[in-house]
Amino acid sequence: MRTPLIKAVVFLGIVSVLVWAVADIYARLSEKTVLYRYISDALNQREMAVARVEWRPAGRLLDRPFTEADAAQVEKVLDQAWASLTFAQQTGNIDVLSDAFTGVALERAEQSAVDAIGHGGVLAVLHSSAKPVFFHRDASILQLEVDTYAVRMLIEQGALSHHQVTLDSNIITFLNGGYGWRISNLERLDAVVPEYQSAEVGQPARAGLNYYPAATPWTQFWRDYEPGTVEDDLVRIRDLGADSIRVFLTYDAFIDPEATELSVNHLRHLLDAARQNGLSVVPTLFDLKPDFSPVTWVEDARYLDTVMPILAEAPSVAYIDLKNEADLDFETHGQAKILGWLTTIRAYLRETAPELGATIGWSSAEWASQLETELEVISYHDYAPLDDARNRLDAVKAGSGGKPVAVTEIGYTSFDALRGFPGSPETQAEQLAVHIEALTDADGVFVWTLYDFANIDTAAIGRSPWRRQIQSSFGLLDSFGNEKPAARVVREAFRKID
């Protein structure tokens, strides 16, 4: 009786390994290296378009009036200069520099790219503010005082050895030789390291749920947002005894020019609906962001410029989760780069919303201490063996410097493939009860997730049928909204949390 079962399991295992191997080979064959000549080819049009220059009035009479048309032309060159400089330092491709730099500045830019490739440094400018100080009568020479929000990062031997954010004052000289404006001189006059106060953590978020509607998880959430559905779901969340929700601000939904306005309105609605239901919100930023290269950071700054004013003014926001499970991107993008990016984002967030505290939702306790000094809340996800849950929490709390520690994802699948494997509704309930009990001393526990998902988002989960089945069944409610045994358990557990 057992033999057929064993054979079936072995067969399934072999098939799974073969499928994985083929997928891996296919992915490797799809990689290729492309050398770009023009920065506009190397970066997609969205990355080229989002950089921003704020213009300040000249304040004195110039030899030639500096018009809006002039500003529009120069702004493009300035944005292109920063982008191409970062790109050249990342890739060593110096051909792109000559479209924005000339003369001495071009030589120095090329040298900086050589140094960057050789020693691991990179400069990214996230924001510029410019004031014309000289404009030649025939429009052949222009000088600007340009203040920049500049990030310098040094990665040595695969580790982030230096990260510095400065507010730089620069003097930039442009020449217009008939081929358009080019930067002929770029000199930094001063660099100030901004000082920040630690932020306060907002409303308590002790007992929470990770939330997507049943029909529209992940990338579908903001695209197919239904206010009525969200309002009903928040009522159910409240009924389960939760005092907070964790939501995900998908990257594309808040950076794509066509989608952003609608997404912003939906975000406002969600925050207000949460407030009306007495729920705190932990917004998780940059979800499903595909690339962390410094050349993309200017776009990330624009993303923050879009969402942070809304989050900062919403009384329901408890604190910000900078990135979901950033450590899972270490292998693909490099740990040092990811940490550099996170530090940059945290710093920029302090500029745009200094009153909001932040955390990073690490995928496991192992990474919880990363960047601890930059955060107001320490958080991690706990999908490790249940037996050591309390020990893991204790270890993280010991290293948190007294900061609140939240476990922002715990969960178990109720998918029963075969006689309780890999899970079942009953074991899900049992495990959640034990887990929440083990995390009594945490400053917040969030269950993944409110609903089962009938249509799992392959962009987030992948195409593996096995994985999709498992991931579709973590809800406390099934995809029709019926309570599973886990719902009762969580309701009781949350009632004890105060």
Give 226's contacts (C-beta < 8 A, 6+ positions apart).
Answer: 213, 216
Query: Which of 112, 250, 344, 472 contacts another protein by CB under 8 A?
Result: 112
Between 142 and 205, name the residue whose CB sits nearer to another protein.
Answer: 142
Q: Which of residues 154-173 bind another protein (CB under 8 A)?
A: 154, 156-157, 159-164, 166, 168, 170-171, 173
Decide if 51 contacts 297 (C-beta within 8 A): no
Q: Give the start-end residues of each E strand in 101-180.
A: 121-135, 141-156, 159-176
Between 244 and 343, name the residue whose CB sits nearer to another protein.
Answer: 343
Decide if 267 contacts 307 (C-beta within 8 A): yes
Residue with tokens 């310098």: 152
Name the segment binding another protein (CB under 8 A); options: 179-187, 200-208, 243-251, 452-460.
179-187
- DSSP conformation letters of 394-422: HHHHHTTTT--EEEEEE-----EEETTEE
Q: Which of residues 208-247 bind another protein (CB under 8 A)?
A: none
Residue with tokens 């007992």: 207
Determine the length of the chain. Answer: 498
Name the segment binding another protein (CB under 8 A); options: 106-114, 349-357, 406-414, 419-427.
106-114
Q: Quick check: bond before 458 cis, omega within 30?
A: no
Least separation in angstroms between residue 85's CB and another protein is 7
Retrieve residue 152's tokens. 């310098």
Site string for another protein, 348-377 (x = CB under 8 A): ----------------------xx------
Give 8's contacts (C-beta < 8 A, 6+ positions apart).
Answer: none
Query: Which of 42, 85, 410, 436 contacts another protein by CB under 8 A?
Result: 85
**How many residues interact with another protein (rule CB under 8 A)?**
55
Q: Which of residues 256-295 bind another protein (CB under 8 A)?
A: none
Name the segment binding another protein (CB under 8 A); options: 27-35, 50-58, 189-197, 395-403.
189-197
Query: Which of 187, 261, 355, 441 contacts another protein by CB under 8 A?
Result: 187
Question: Residue 286 region, left (φ>0) first, then alpha (ψ -120 to 50), else beta?
Answer: left
Between 105 and 279, name the residue whose CB sits nearer to another protein.
Answer: 105
Least separation in angstroms between residue 71's CB and another protein is 19
Report d(CA 366, CA 170) in Å as an integer. 42
Report d(CA 78, CA 225) in Å as an integer. 38
Q: Is 118 in the site for another protein (CB under 8 A)?
A: yes
Report d(CA 217, CA 427) in Å as an integer. 24
Retrieve residue 361's tokens. 């939702």
Least separation in angstroms between residue 150's CB and another protein is 9
Query: Which of 49, 104, 235, 386 contacts another protein by CB under 8 A?
Result: 104
Site string for another protein, 318-347 (x = CB under 8 A): -----------------xx--x---x----
Retrieve residue 205's tokens. 């978020």
Gyration radius (Cα) of the chain, Å: 26
Q: Is 139 in the site for another protein (CB under 8 A)?
A: yes
Report d(CA 441, CA 90) in Å as an integer. 44
Least separation in angstroms between residue 116's CB and another protein is 6
Between 292 and 412, name the residue whose CB sits nearer to another protein.
Answer: 292
Kindly list the residues in this chain that would bind another protein in the complex (CB under 8 A). 63, 85, 89, 103-104, 107-109, 111-112, 115-116, 118-119, 121-123, 133-134, 136-141, 143, 152-154, 156-157, 159-164, 166, 168, 170-171, 173, 185-191, 335-336, 339, 343, 370-371
